[in-house]
Amino acid sequence: MKDVLKKAEEHMGKSVAVLQDDYAAIRAGRANPAVLDKVMVDYYGAPTAINQLAAVSVAEARILTIQPWDASVCRAIEKAIQTSDIGINPQSDGKIIRMVFPPLTEDRRKELAKDIRKMAEDAKIAVRNIRRDAMDKLKAMKKGGELTEDDLKQAEKKTQDLTDKYCKEIDSVQEKKQKEIMEI
């Protein structure tokens, strides 16, 4: 029983972590190195993350600088950013690449807010699916004689409490990201 609950809590925690990673990749008008996490550069035939090829830093609130350790890869990084879905054109002087983040329009903010709500709802669905799977395992354990009726009720309550806890956490993460997006 305890390992079923422990596994469920672990999976629910991972669902929240995935949501936070997805939110980090959404650009909110500010320079954020996390927007480059999913961009891969073809480096000698191997797809490589930008942060493994260069120092990525925030120069100003809306400017991200990328300084490759090997100047010959500068063009490849620039090309990878242009072909990605970030929507920002990098400017390069051959040694340093700068990405200027434009301020978000009101329409784009509302669109991002919708996406954020949908991502949070998907995370909640994942948490509820984990709850369902845990409940099914607990009921199977009762059928198999491993649990008593009282143990089952207690375990179901704990599983529901975990679900509520992680759904609240998802709500707070969503609220925080929405505030960040709606800020001008």
pLDDT > 70? residue 184:
no
Question: How large is the average pLDDT for residues 105-114?
Answer: 85
Residues 74 and 118 in one domain: no
- Give pLDDT, residue 27: 66
Element (H, E) at 69: none
Give the structural domain span for 46. 33-100
Banded model confidence at residue 29, pLDDT cuts 50, 70, 90:
low
3-state secondary structure of 146: coil
Average pLDDT, the chain: 88
C-alpha dihedral sign at 162, 165, 168, 169 = negative
3-state secondary structure of 14: helix
- Give pLDDT, residue 38: 81
pLDDT > 70? residue 48:
yes
Banded model confidence at residue 108, pLDDT cuts 50, 70, 90:
confident
- Give pLDDT, residue 163: 94
Question: How large is the average pLDDT for residues 161-182?
Answer: 91
Residues 65 and 47 in one domain: yes
pLDDT > 80? residue 25:
no
Residues 109 and 153 in one domain: yes
Residues 73 and 116 in one domain: no
Residue 181: phi and psi, rounded to 5, are -70, -40
Residues 131 and 90 in one domain: no
CA–CA–CA angle 28, 34, 35 (5° rounding): 60
Question: Tokens for 106?
Answer: 């009101």
Distance CA 173, CA 87 (A): 25
Per-residue pLDDT of 114-171, as tens digits, reads 989 999 999 999 999 999 999 999 999 989 888 889 988 999 999 999 999 999 999 9
- Token pair 């490589």 in the structure block, residue: 48
SS (HEC) of 108-132: HHHHHHHHHHHHHHHHHHHHHHHHH
Distance CA 26, CA 86 (A): 9
Among residues 100, 131, 151, the one where a domain terminates is: 100
Is 0.75 surpassed by the pTM of this model? no
Residues 127 and 161 in one domain: yes
Residues 61 and 114 in one domain: no
Residues 114 and 176 in one domain: yes
Among residues 44, 69, 100, the one where a domain terminates is: 100
Instruction: Say how many Å lie between the first and final Cα of the chain, rounded.
Output: 49
Among residues 61, 77, 100, the one where a domain terminates is: 100
Residues 88 and 116 in one domain: no
Please tell me which residue, 103 or 65, carries the higher pLDDT value: 65
Radius of gyration of the chain (CA): 22
Q: Based on the structure, what is the number of domains in the chain?
A: 2
Residues 45 and 91 in one domain: yes
Residues 123 and 136 in one domain: yes
Banded model confidence at residue 21, pLDDT cuts 50, 70, 90:
confident
Question: Tokens for 101?
Answer: 């983040």
Structure letter (DSSP) for residue 38? T
Give the CATH number for residue 15: 1.10.132.20
Give the CATH number for residue 79: 3.30.1360.40
Please tell me which residue, 117 or 29, carries the higher pLDDT value: 117
Residues 110 and 175 in one domain: yes
